[in-house]
Amino acid sequence: MTSPVAASRLVVKVGSSLVTNEGRGIDQEAVARWASEIATLTQAGKSIVLVSSGAIAEGMQRLGWAARPRAIHALQAAAAVGQMGLVEAYERAFARFRLQTAQVLLTHEDLADRRRYLNARTTLTTLLGLRVIPVINENDTVTTDEIRFGDNDTLGALVTNLVEADVLVLLTDQPGLFTADPRRHPEATLVTRARAGDPALEAMAGGAGSAIGRGGMLTKVLAAKRAARSGASTVIASGREPNVLTRLAQGEAIGTLLEAERSSLAARKQWLADHVRLAGRVILDDGAVHALVRDGKSLLPIGVVEVVGAFGRGEVVGCFAPDGREVARGLVNYGSQEAARIARRPSSEIESVLGYVDEPELIHRDNLVLLM
């Protein structure tokens, strides 16, 4: 479990009511404040991914719609219009701190498909390596599930897993999670610390969100549960709290901290180890086995002597020693046809063989678990 103060990579999600000042249009002062805090964290060496709601609400304001329409096509149109204002606001705010931003629109399907998952992961990690702030939103112009049923809390958790972040920060218009709805139960108290995934939290969280957004405290509790699967802890806090991000990074207890039970690396390795069905196999030479088992290295194409089975990029394959023992398994960066073509070749030749290069490794050590 990693606390906000020790986190090197964070995903920050801001809700619709915060971004659009309860639907009255983008709150430029709030956006500028978050940009300032994120700039401070970036200067301190932390990587930040921003997941922002607010496109539909901003589109409604621009189109002069007082009430949220029910027709899906109208909501999609509002999202398309609102994205323009949302991106403009973030770009202008971060430019004051000489930080580049990048808009990334995702759907849940992008993260469910292993190939698209890896493509999105590579793009985001590349942006972070360039010190660019990715601004992510659900691609509401082409998807309908999120508009009907959800909020970007879930997307924030999926992105947390995607980029292997240490902490997910959910900024909302509430101080955090209470033991009951404080609007109905004045005696309710703030939950300052709990275990992510505790069933009792879902009972506390209740139901609906605001009329502007579609998320409530329940979606945040469920998002924390999802983020914990990759070992990330979650903070639920008020986005109106002064310097909330920098104070969290300094170790101050703000809002509700929902802790993951194990580290992100341990959770990811356990998931790989427990993966029952292998999409295929790669047979290694003795040098590659030694590099993986003794030296903790990534698997490079040059160490592969044979590719067995048909698998796609991002699927789980087993790594076998010459004597038939499975020594490791992991998420492969190239499909079986490409892997067969670059087997026994150094990474420097991947581009000349395939015409492109995704990664220099066939399986990166972060996506590989040893079985012996």
Question: CB-based burial of residue 120 (10 Å sphere; 0-12 exposed, 13-18 middle, 19+ buried)?
Answer: buried
- Is residue 30 situated within a structural domain? yes
Residue 2 forms part of a structural domain: no
Q: Is 142 helix (H, G, I), strand (E, B) or coil?
A: coil
- Same-domain check for residues 182 and 300: no
Same domain for 341 and 320, yes or no, is yes
Domain boundary among 262, 291, 317: 262
Task: Say whether both 225 and 329 belong to one domain.
Answer: no
- Structural domain contains residue 306: yes
pLDDT of residue 258: 96
**CB-based contact 146:138 (threshold 8 Å):** yes
Asked whether residue 270 is assigned to any structural domain, the reply reads: no
User: Which CATH number belongs to the domain containing residue 116 in this structure?
Assistant: 3.40.1160.10
Q: What is the CATH number of the domain that holds 292?
A: 2.30.130.10
- On whether both 36 and 152 belong to a single domain, the answer is yes
Same domain (yes/no): 106, 239? yes
Domain boundary among 262, 289, 308: 262
Tokens of residue 134, six digits: 């990715």
User: How many separate domains does the chain show?
Assistant: 2
- List the domain range (segments joined by +) for residue 310: 275-370
- Residue 308 shares a structural domain with residue 229: no
Structural Rg of the chain based on CA atoms: 22
| Boundary residue ending a domain (234, 262, 290) | 262
pLDDT at 271: 60
DSSP string of 342-354?
HTTS-GGGHHHHH
Domain co-membership, 168 together with 281 = no
290 shares a domain with 145: no
pLDDT one digit per residue (tens) for the chain, 372 residues: 567 778 899 999 998 889 988 777 899 999 999 999 999 999 999 999 999 988 888 899 899 998 888 888 898 899 899 999 999 999 999 999 999 999 999 877 777 666 787 788 889 999 999 999 999 988 776 665 544 435 689 889 889 988 989 999 999 989 999 988 888 888 989 999 999 988 889 888 875 444 444 458 899 999 998 888 888 999 999 999 999 999 999 999 999 999 998 666 666 666 666 555 788 999 999 999 999 999 999 999 999 999 999 999 988 899 999 999 999 999 899 999 999 999 999 999 999 999 999 899 999 998 888 887
Same domain? For 203 and 296 the reply is: no
pLDDT attached to residue 151: 67
DSSP sequence for 280-341: EEEEE-HHHHHHHHTT-PPBPGGGEEEEES---TT-EEEEE-TTS-EEEEEE-SS-HHHHHH
What was the pLDDT predicted at 268? 62
Q: Verify that 299 and 168 share a domain, yes or no.
A: no
pTM of the model: 0.77
Co-location of 209 and 303 in the same domain: no
Evaluate whether residue 268 is within a structural domain: no
Q: What is the pLDDT of residue 141?
A: 67
Give the per-residue pLDDT at 214.
Answer: 46
Same domain, yes or no: 355 and 213: no
